[in-house]
Amino acid sequence: MANIREKIICCLSNIGCIINEDEENFTIEIEDSIMLISFIVELEVNFDIEIPDELLTSVRFEKCNDVIEMLSQLIERVDSNY
């Protein structure tokens, strides 16, 4: 899970989002819809996944642990298909 968290932090950094890494479950401060879409694309590229449309709500991207949980499930789903 630490590796997923580190990749999330990298993705946020790539889109210019400033976060408090000291907080375990930090709030992700997405400023607008363009930043949200950029973050989603960063996640999909870095984790080699596709986030289904039904998961593309801003609520799912508010807290780091929520994103970690969602990504873990998607990665597990992809791995089980191979």
pLDDT tens track for 1-60: 679 999 999 999 999 998 888 888 999 999 999 999 999 999 999 999 999 999 998 889
CA end-to-end distance (rounded Å), the chain: 21
Q: In a 3-state reduction of DSSP, which class is residue 63? A: strand
Residue 35 to residue 22: CA distance in whole angstroms: 22
CATH code where residue 18 lies: 1.10.1200
The domain of 15 spans 2-80
- Read off the pTM: 0.89
Residue 66 to residue 25: CA distance in whole angstroms: 9
Domain count, the chain: 1
pLDDT grade for 77, boundaries at 50, 70 and 90: confident
